[in-house]
Amino acid sequence: MADILDWTNADLDQLDMATYEDKAGDMAARLREETGAGRLPFLTMPYAAELKKQLAGLKGYLDGFDHMLLLGIGGSALGARALQKAFHPEQDRPGHRGKWLWIADNVDAYALTAFMAKLPPEKTVVVTVSKSGGTIETVGQYFIIKEWMKERLGDEWAKHMLLVTDEKQGFLRGEVDAFGIRALPVPDNLGGRYSVLSAVGLIPALFLGMDTDALLAGAREVADVLADPALSGETLAGTQAFRLAAWGAALMDKGFTEMIFFAYIPLWASFGDWFAQLWAESLGKEGKGSQPVPAVGVTDQHSVNQMFMDGVRNKACLFLTCPSLPAGPKFPADLPDQFAYVRGKDFGELIQAEGLGTRMALSSSGVPLVEIQVGADGPKQAGKLIGLLGAATILTGWLMGINPLDQPAVELGKRLAKARMDADGLADEKADLNVFLTAQRDLREF
């Protein structure tokens, strides 16, 4: 089955799409410039051929472990978790006996202590992901796990470590050089939220036995057109990535300040969290942007869908479906009369009916909606989805007049946290922190 976007309920007649569609020529020129200069590796994937070789050489090494502990945060973890949940759900089900992927993506002392207490270090590989090598939440865990590995494995500890970081510089690159730890690079100009189809996401995917070639091939189906050195405005205007971008920008002009990502492929629900970082960190700048809201079908029909349907009319929706999900077991034939409508039907029919009903209800309630329908829930389609949403996000940012590849506001909180831990320098941040901490607080028990 084909992978399609259904624009029927996108409310295009209510939006000023032409304002942005007329910029296709300018956007094509910018894409040619940026890809030609090597600044958009998400689209050009110049690293792909070498990465395939590196992954092939790594497979035998990874096959020697039962557990992978991934240390990373944000884009260093969200893509890996989405792929794990989509294509290796057995870990969450009874009786699992295969590979185990554990993701430490927070400053969580309970979890880190449990990993050290319960994981067998001799059967565990620790993958630390930080492009800069200075992300304290990640590198801090690395320091602690490194000591744990040394205590339990002695001189063999470094053989159980794998670093994914900058190819030339940073603290973790220094660890590679000092201890001979295996390492794969994060390509230059590839930000964390765009990095899932690099070593960042594909190492855990390979460990779990996913088809990494299919993931990359799916993304290339979307990206190759956009990275073509001869890309024209007419060709760009015909791509679904550009049309999504024009739709997203036009929606914001009309006051649609929330973008729901409603996943009616249960195993793909974690792509909502991945999309939330992608959309929010890329577009939330200079007082602009729309808030991404991940939602899971059918679960959230019974919770936040009330707000979507009957709350403030500021919401649009990307609605993810797959018509070829498994049929599952059949409902019994001897059900009570009040449930006669499902007698003998496949359990899988229910989610298709629920998805159709929710899609129609949202549209009738004034929620502009584009359905992303994948023909199958396989890795190639996941790669296409990643490529589509990543490209659409970049183009949306450009149409908005902002840079979708940086995240300046995120850095302030990081600097203040370092000041609180008494890092060197940061005099201004330490002064601001002192004012904040010594201010009179309004404290009340509850």
Q: What is the pLDDT of residues 208-240, one digit of tens each?
A: 999 999 999 999 999 999 999 999 999 999 999
| Mean pLDDT of the region 16-30 | 97
Spatial CB neighbours of 348, under 8 Å, sequence gap ≥ 6: 325, 326, 327, 328
Residue 14 has pLDDT above 80, yes or no: yes
Task: Report how far Cα 104 is from the mean position of its chain's Cα atoms.
Answer: 16
What does the alpha-carbon distance between residue 186 and residue 200 come to, in Å, rounded to a whole number?
A: 7
**Which pLDDT score is estimated for 106?**
96
Candidates 34, 281, 371, 429; catalytic one? 281
pLDDT of 133 reads 87
What is the pLDDT, as a whole number, of residue 426?
87
Q: Could you tell me if 387 and 223 are in contact, meaning their C-beta atoms sit under 8 angstroms apart?
A: yes
Instruction: Establish whether 281 is a catalytic residue.
Output: yes
The predicted structure's pLDDT at residue 96 = 95
Res 339: pLDDT: 96
| pLDDT at residue 425, as a whole number | 85
Beta bridge partners of 145: none
- For 291, list phi and psi in degrees, rounded to 5: -80, 120
Catalytic residue among 53, 168, 302, 445: 302
Selected catalytic residue, list 288, 414, 418, 430: 414
Q: CATH number of 41-212: 3.40.50.720, 1.10.3470.10, 3.40.50.10490, 3.30.930.10?
A: 3.40.50.10490
User: Given this model, what pLDDT does residue 434 score?
Assistant: 85
Q: Which residue has the higher pLDDT, 120 or 422?
A: 120
Stretch 103-126: mean pLDDT: 97
Mean pLDDT for the stretch of residues 6-33: 97
Structural tokens at position 284: 């939330």
Q: What does each C-alpha distance from 287 to 155, 283, 362 come to in angstroms?
A: 52, 10, 27
The rounded distance, in Å, linking the Cα atoms of 92 and 270 is 14
Say yes or no to pLDDT of 338 above 90.
yes
Identify the band that residue 18 occupies on the pLDDT scale cut at 50, 70 and 90.
Answer: very high
Mean pLDDT over 93-120 rounds to 97
Residue 167 is encoded by which pair of tokens? 């190819």
Confidence at residue 413, expressed as pLDDT on a 0 to 100 scale: 82
Is the pLDDT assigned to residue 435 strictly greater than 90?
A: no
- Assess whether pLDDT exceeds 80 at residue 410: no
Determine the pLDDT at residue 318.
98
Residues 395, 247 contacting (CB under 8 angstroms): no
pLDDT in tens, 369-401: 999 999 999 999 999 999 999 999 999 999 999
Mean pLDDT across 362-367: 96
Distance of alpha carbon 328 from alpha carbon 47, whole angstroms: 40
CATH 3.40.50.10490 region(s) of the chain?
4-36+227-400, 41-212
Which among 418, 443, 446 has a CA at the least distance from the CA of 433?
418
- Residue 303 half-sphere exposure toward CB, CA atoms < 13 A: 8
Chosen CATH of 4-36+227-400 out of 3.40.190.10, 3.40.50.10490, 3.40.640.10, 3.40.50.300 = 3.40.50.10490
Q: CB neighbours (10 Å) of residue 315?
A: 24
